[in-house]
Chains A and B, each alone.
Chain A
Amino acid sequence: MSGGHGAHVENGIWMRAVMMGGILLTIGVLLFATLGVFMANEKHHVWEELEDEYHHMEVEVALDGIITDKEAADLDHLHHEEIAAHLSYLTYRVAGITILLMSITYAAFIGVGGLLNSSKPAAEHGDGHDEHEHHGSSSPIIFAFGIMLFLAGFPDFVIACKAMLNADLTPDFGMLALSMVGLLTIVIAVSNWWFEDLPFNGHGEQIATSYPFEGEHIRKAGLWVFIMSEIMVFATFFSSYLRMRTEWCTKWAIEDGVEACQGVEPVVTASDLIRNDFATILPGAINTFALIISSYTIVLALKTAKNAKWEPSTGIMGKIMPTRKAAIRNYLIATLALGSLFIVLKLVEWSHLVAEGFDIGTTQGSIFYIATGAHGLHVFIGLLVMLYLVFKADTVGYDEDNAQGIEYFGLYWHFVDLAWVVIFPAFYLY
């Protein structure tokens, strides 16, 4: 199907979404087997050996009763090696499991959506040729209703999940069912949304007729109002953190000689554990670069889509991106890969912090995990939307007429980047 103009969409095209889900799942399983099983097991052996060696040496020193300086140094060195081996094992195991879970979610999301749409009657597809076609949709309302049901049952959904792992808890399967109905409603709404959007060729975009957005695209104005509300959400996290952070007797406050902090045990923040060591600051720094690069790749996707005179470059880039359609798709795939890398590194970093005793059971842990977790959730939701963009770029295609999809999603993605610009220095460096 050519880029956006021949907007009649055959049902069979949705089977490519199912195939895409299968490819994502295969990649996920392979990466899990390599990183999460093979490499992690190797690292686990190394960790176990070092742990045994350390405990053996500890017992020997305890039996001797006297510890020399050399023995103390050796013991300390071994202890650090053992911790490093543990963290290395966690890196591979958590990365593998995260990739597997993400690929299952990706495959389920795009696969189920594709399957539902491929089974719809062909007559339901809009042909997109009507210049006055109304593109308002009920899908967002159904989607919002699904989220409401899902969240209504969510606390008990979590308990039910825990109960499956722990016999001491009594799950409320009624609420679990409510969450599941919510999840199903979300999937149906999203797949219907895709169904309506796929043939959209850029004509019939609704224009606002009244102040203050008069003459502007309603979807774009709506997205900016949504971003406005998101700024407030992140501002609450940020201001709560600042409020607490300025009161804590951190290592910095004690070093600065704050009177109220003299003789007080320092409060350990995530940044205390992260900022002074190359290995600990690396995941956060890579994540920052990954988000900035992903912001640029989505800009390149939009720029390519809007450029009717686009021509392939020479050399390797020309081979990777031989056509405009392939270039847009590949830029979006790069964005998807970078966003996925962000989630993987985030969870690896969390696992390291938890292993070091920085968990959610403290005020500083709670605000850190909630704020960075909320941001990670935004990234993940963005990735699910991006799956559809990749699918559309690969099938119907984007061009100068229908590039709004990339542009509006890009606004959301840049906002996620913008939020990280604030979160990273505040929670990781300050």
Chain B
Amino acid sequence: MGEHIEIMGKDIYFWNFIVLMFFTLFEVAAVFYDVIPGTEIEVTKLMVWAILIVVGIIKGFGIAAFFMHLKDDPRIYTRTALFPVLFVILMLWGIGLSNPAGVTELPSWCTPNWDYAETR
């Protein structure tokens, strides 16, 4: 089990916690600063997107693999967790292919009676 692995006298959960905290700080800083502190390197939007996606994957893996024990549990649990991800990918793909009017041009009766629906 994961708890038996120790690095510098601390178990894997502790290090996972530290990694999660560090990457949270990193992603907040990546968005907060326009220029990397101490340099003149501009933090572009492409960099921000890449950082948010990569950090999200690392943090998601850390939580699922270690805190949720998927790394040590039988594979059926990992498959169960990943099964809906297939649908999520399909959904995102469908969204990418869909027409913008599919969302912004919905008739008023399809939307709650909010101000934007009445004034559109």
Contacts and interface: CB of A to CB of B under 8 A. Distances in A.
A216 B80 CA distance: 13
A418 B59 CA distance: 8
B102 to A, nearest CB: 8
Interface residues of A, number: 53
A421 B56 contact: yes
Interface in B21-66: 21, 24, 27-28, 31-32, 45, 48-49, 52, 55-56, 59-60, 63-64
B84 A292 contact: no
Interface string B5-25: 000000101100100110010
Interface in B70-120: 74, 76-77, 79-81, 83-85, 87-88, 91-92, 95, 98, 100, 103-104, 114-116
Contact of A417 (B28, B49, B63, B80): B63
B66 to A, nearest CB: 8
Nearest to A276: B32
A275 B32 contact: yes
A124 interface: no
B67 A289 contact: no
Interface of B is mostly: helix
Contact of B84 (A228, A296, A303): A228
A212 B80 CA distance: 10
Contacts of A363: 103-104, 116
Contact of A422 (B31, B60, B68): B60
Contacts, number: 125
B13 A239 contact: no
Contact of B27 (A244, A366, A429): A429
B83 to A, nearest CB: 6
Nearest to A234: B88
Contact of B24 (A229, A285, A414): A285
A430 B103 CA distance: 20
B81 A289 contact: no
Contact of B88 (A239, A247, A421): A239
A232 B84 contact: yes
Given A236-B91, A243-B98, A292 B17 contact: yes
Interface of B: 3, 11, 13-14, 17, 20-21, 24, 27-28, 31-32, 45, 48-49, 52, 55-56, 59-60, 63-64, 67-68, 74, 76-77, 79-81, 83-85, 87-88, 91-92, 95, 98, 100, 103-104, 114-116
20 contacts: A212-B79, A224-B77, A228-B83, A231-B88, A232-B84, A235-B91, A236-B91, A238-B88, A243-B98, A281-B28, A289-B21, A292-B17, A296-B14, A361-B114, A363-B116, A414-B63, A414-B68, A422-B56, A425-B52, A425-B55
Given A227-B81, A429-B52, 12 more contacts: A224-B77, A224-B80, A231-B81, A232-B88, A235-B84, A235-B87, A239-B95, A252-B45, A275-B31, A288-B28, A292-B20, A293-B17
